[in-house]
Amino acid sequence: MPKSCNASDYMCASLITFSPDMPVLDAINQLIVHSISGAPVVDDRGNLVGMLSELDCLKVALQSGYYGDAGGRVSEYMSTDVKTIDESTSIVDLAQMFMRSSYRRYPVMANDHMVGQISRHDVLRALEDLAKG
């Protein structure tokens, strides 16, 4: 494992992102096609404005079941109370954060800009690297 062993060492910098105005069914398709469980929602300037997860998307299924309407925009379903981390957050601190929350991923920020995302899986990769020595 690198000496620094921070979020920036294991985060994914190449992200699938959604816009708030994107049709939610298109976003669901992207989650399925890319085998991901969620993605950041960014405005036209690249600012983080929310997250859309599989759990958020289940609301679409419920709405469809109750009202026969399986549509709408990402902004209607996304979570807007997004917990972010700094790129210098240690992997150990991240492991603790994941243990204490139900989050599966955190957007990684540097100088108030999103630079990536780190998931539970990424923390496990760091642990594997540690075990390999």
* Residue 83 predicted with pLDDT over 90: yes
Tell me the two tokens of residue 102: 């139900």
Cα–Cα dist 123/91, whole Å: 6
Mean per-residue pLDDT, 44-57: 94
pLDDT digits (tens, 9 = 90+) for 3-27: 558 999 999 999 999 999 999 999 9
In one letter, which amino acid is 90? S
For the segment 93-119, the average pLDDT, to the nearest whole number, is: 94
Please provide the CATH number assigned to the domain covering 7-132. 3.10.580.10
State the pLDDT confidence band at 131, using cuts at 50, 70 and 90: confident
Beta strand spans in 5-133 (E): 38-42, 48-53, 85-86, 105-110, 113-119
Q: Which residues does residue 28 pair with via DSSP β-bridges, in sequence order?
A: none
**CA separation for the pair 105, 83 (Å, rounded):** 9
* Mean of pLDDT over the chain: 90
Q: Which residues of 77-93 are buried (b: 16+ CB within 10 A; e: fewer)?
A: bbeeebeebebebebee
Residue 127 confidence (pLDDT): 87
Question: Does 62 have pLDDT greater than 90?
Answer: no
For residues 110 and 11, the answer to whether their CB atoms sit within 8 Å is no
pLDDT of residue 1: 44
pTM for the predicted model, two decimal places = 0.85
Residues 85-104, mean pLDDT to the nearest whole number: 94
* Strands 105-110 and 38-42, sheet pairing: unpaired
Structural domain boundaries in the chain: 7-132
